[in-house]
Structure 1
Amino acid sequence: VLLHVSTAYCNCNVKYIDEKVYEPPLAPHKLLDACEWMDGDVLNTLTPKMIGNRPNTYTYTKAIAEYLLYQNKEELPVVIFRPSIVGASWNEPVPGWVDNYNGPTGLLAAIGNGLLRVMKGDFYGTSDIIPVDIASNMMIAVAWDNVVYKSDELKVYHCTTGQMNKFTWGQMERMSHECFMKNPVNTVARIPNPRFTKSYVWHEVCVLFDHVLPAYLMDMMMWVSGKRPIFVKIQDKLRKAVGSLDYFTQNEWVFSNKNLDDLLNKMTPEDRKTFNFNVKSIHWPTYMESYCLGIKRFVLREELSELSKARQTLKRLQRINFAVNVFLFIAVWRLLINRVAVARTLWNFLLGWAIRIFKRMPKVAKSS
């Protein structure tokens, strides 16, 4: 059997995605013929029209590849496997194993460093993450199913969690914050504080005050101390990387999982245990803690024995953050008192009220 690994988002221009191959607007052979004689500039000009309301060429070419296989299904024993957003492992080889920055791993690493603090996204929207070992186990079972139970039709399998064990971007925000506050990374630059918002205006305001200005301030401190400024460049790269995910964090889809259910029912209890891909078994708080620790161990190459040192660094950042906030509050308040009559009147009222309360406290204490 020829098992083709696609993506659950290859037909993201449709909100309800069934386990079938969708016909693309342009036939694969016509697209291939056009690529033979068109130069790069012409293709770049025509790309937005060709992909239509899909967000990028990746999802479009995945759909094209699926249809090309569908057209040749009589000659090839093809089966299509569509995972959603592949993340760290749930159990195998160890919980939290991951070896790249793809998908949510890059987001979580930036959150752990404190460099990514605001993202466009639906707080209540589905974050359809699938652990890599769950996807791998299901791929093996899918191949077995199509050898033992042959079918004349080309079968498509969705490997997704959204309809069977929902996990939201808001849960990711909260759980990643809790995990990285409990187990910070050694390279933490700011206090982890991720936030998802659907408001364009609020997002841009937060990016300015929580990403851009602090990056320039930290670079200025690096320059003064004789080190090479890096934070502005990091923020530029981070914004481009996160921007490519905006479409997926602000929208959600319904994926049919009928073939997944049927496959589980065909397997023996022993096989279901050995090749576990039952997404209902995932406990998201446990998974996210393992994921964040896995990023620390396997991606950032940090030793867990250094956690105490990382926690001390985070506490120092918390003290600095508190001191800066107090300084800014006093500076702004002093400016308002000196420039705005209403603020000055309010300050005098509050100060007078506080003085009267303190004067009455000894009398209250004596009477009691």
Structure 2
Amino acid sequence: MIMEKPLYIGQGRARAITEHDINSEIKLASEMTNSVKRSQATQKMKELGIERAKMYGWPNTYSFTKAMGEMLINNFRDGVPVVILRPSVVESSYREPFPGWIQGYRVLEPLIFNYGKGNLPGLLGDPQTVVDLIPVDMVANATMAAIARHGAAATPELNVYHIGSSSENPILLGDIFYYACGHFNSFPLPNSNNGNNPTCIKSMNFFSSLDDFSSFSMEMARQSGLLLDSTNLESNLHRILQNKSIKKTEIFIHMANLYRPYTFYKVRFNNGNTQRLHGGMSGEEMKNFGFDVERMNWEQYISNIHIPGVRKHLLKC
């Protein structure tokens, strides 16, 4: 259980991060940017970020740089009141500006919609893993509530709020794909491989090791290639289609590796401060700016709000 406490310089998950370390990382990143061609910079920075994050015990560059940012703010705030809000996986809106509003293809969407297209029959992960989701409008409302409360008090404190669901109303990875399966079988996506013929979506297969997932994925790719009617295709075209199928599978294996820190994540985020913040609001404030995640029905949200919202606002299908 991760508590709503500030991170201090000299504190880290696996190795203490000092002010010197932070300055060194900034310098290292700047030197890397200046030493490579512009066309190579993005990929090189990604590789460097992952390498440095893992060295300090963080799963990826995103969480590592967030931690460094918090530490620097805390170290140099010099009595200035600070509120730190840590949203979890931010997804489409629950109510405002209307249910299902979203901008950007975010954390879960590549998995959910490749599954919905029939391209991702298996996933590297534990179906019992808790996925900490939060709708974007609840994040906005909690942010305004925290600013209103501490801005008015103006005391030289640092307050931390976890805006998430894992400790109050957890949803499991397996449940997300169970709800998605029900949605896509009732409202199929146009299958990009077969024109407009819908694909029957089967239950997600979960694998506990990358080797097992890779073997399953490559076998699915080979089977897909073998199912092509080679008698009606030139051998060269048949080979090209097989290679494309295998290459697509290799991309999903790469994606599985990237998602692995989250699909096996055994951490929950305490949100007692956030609950007390919400509980201190008036009835009118709760009505207009509520963020009570405990009352959310995840099946309703995933099946009838989130997936339809992504389809309407991003995929236009």
Please state which band the TM-score falls in when normalised by the shorter chain. Answer: 0.7 to 0.9
Q: Is the 8 Å Cα contact of residues 87 and 105 (structure 1) preserved in structure 2?
A: no
Task: Write out the 4+ residue segments of structure 1 that deviate beyond 6 Å after TM superposition.
Answer: 218-221, 225-228
Q: Is the 8 Å Cα contact of residues 114 and 188 (structure 1) preserved in structure 2?
A: no
Q: Is the 8 Å Cα contact of residues 88 and 132 (structure 2) preserved in structure 1?
A: yes
Residue 311 (structure 2) aligns with: 296
Q: Is the 8 Å Cα contact of residues 183 and 293 (structure 1) preserved in structure 2?
A: no
Number of residue pairs the alignment of both structures matches: 285
Which protein has the larger Cα radius of gyration, Structure 1 or Structure 2? 1
- Compared with structure 1, are the counterparts of its residues 248 and 124 closer, same or farther at alpha carbon in structure 2 (3 Å cutoff)? same
For the pair 1:177 / 2:192, whether they are aligned, the reply is no
Q: Which moved more, 1:192-201 or 1:260-269?
A: 192-201
Residue 70 (structure 2) aligns with: 66
Q: What runs of 5+ residues in structure 2 fail to find an aligned partner?
A: 36-43, 194-198
SS at match of 1:254: coil
SS at match of 2:169: coil
Aligned partners of 2:92, 2:167: CA distance in 1, in Å?
A: 20
Identity %: 24
Residue 306 (structure 1) aligns with: none
Aligned partners of 2:266, 2:122: CA distance in 1, in Å?
A: 19
- Compared with structure 1, are the counterparts of its residues 234 and 94 closer, same or farther at alpha carbon in structure 2 (3 Å cutoff)? farther
Residue 356 (structure 1) aligns with: none
Q: Is the 8 Å Cα contact of residues 17 and 253 (structure 1) preserved in structure 2?
A: yes
**TM-score, with length taken from structure 2:** 0.79
Q: Is the 8 Å Cα contact of residues 169 and 196 (structure 1) preserved in structure 2?
A: no
Aligned partners of 1:37, 1:85: CA distance in 2, in Å?
A: 29
> Where in structure 2 are the equivalents of 1:224-243 lying within 5 Å?
224=233, 231-243=245-257
Q: Is the 8 Å Cα contact of residues 26 and 50 (structure 1) preserved in structure 2?
A: no
Residue 261 (structure 1) aligns with: 275
Residue 248 (structure 1) aligns with: 262
Aligned partners of 1:294, 1:30: CA distance in 2, in Å?
A: 42
- Amino acid of the residue matched to residue 243 of structure 1? N
For the pair 1:26 / 2:17, whether they are aligned, the reply is yes
Q: Is the 8 Å Cα contact of residues 73 and 154 (structure 1) preserved in structure 2?
A: no
> Where in structure 2 are the equivalents of 1:2-17 lying within 5 Å?
16-17=1-2
**TM-score, with length taken from structure 1:** 0.69
1:195 to 200, 205, 219: 205
Aligned partners of 2:54, 2:78: CA distance in 1, in Å?
A: 28
Q: Is the 8 Å Cα contact of residues 84 and 161 (structure 2) preserved in structure 1?
A: yes
For the pair 1:272 / 2:286, whether they are aligned, the reply is yes
- Amino acid of the residue matched to residue 205 of structure 1? S
- Compared with structure 1, are the counterparts of its residues 49 and 55 closer, same or farther at alpha carbon in structure 2 (3 Å cutoff)? closer
Of structures 1 and 2, the one with the larger relative CO (CA 8 A, separation 6+) is 2
Residue 110 (structure 1) aligns with: 114
- Amino acid of the residue matched to residue 296 of structure 2? I
RMSD: 3.0
Aligned partners of 2:168, 2:58: CA distance in 1, in Å?
A: 25
CA deviation map 1:250-306 (0-9, x unaligned): 12212121111110122101101111110012111110112121222122112xxxx
